Amino acid sequence: MKSEHAVRLCVAVVQWQGQKCSLVIHYENGFTLLDLSDSSEVSKPNIHWNHPFEKLRMSADDGSRLVWLDFGEDGEQASEVC
């Protein structure tokens, strides 16, 4: 019997512009940054930004804690992984 395991979602707690956030990478929806600083609104977190995979022009990291995502005209985002 052949078994397949498809990862559809990856979530990392990050710090973005001094705020604790969650970086969500979804196989269909792309990249979403959610605000985690207000725990009272767990059911509807504030979305800082959202970009589909097609908008990603370049990504890089420092091999330790920093991640850069370049979405071209939509802007460049840098986050520190907690």
Q: Which residue has the tokens 């589909």?
A: 52
- CATH assignment at residue 63: 2.30.29.30
Residue 49 has pLDDT above 70, yes or no: yes
Residue 43 has pLDDT above 90, yes or no: no
Q: With respect to residue 37, please indicate whether it lies within any of the assigned structural domains.
A: yes
Overall average pLDDT of the 56-67 stretch = 93
Q: Which residues contact 49 (CB under 8 A, 6 or more apart)?
A: 31, 32, 33, 75, 77
- Model confidence pTM above 0.75: yes
Residue 19 contacts residue 35 (beta carbons within 8 Å): yes
Q: With respect to residue 27, please indicate whether it lies within any of the assigned structural domains.
A: yes
Q: Which residues contact 33 (CB under 8 A, 6 or more apart)?
A: 14, 16, 21, 22, 23, 24, 47, 48, 49, 50, 77, 79
Give pLDDT tens digits for 10-26.
999 999 999 999 999 99
Residue 76 has pLDDT above 70, yes or no: yes
Please give the residue range of the domain that contains residue 70. Answer: 9-81
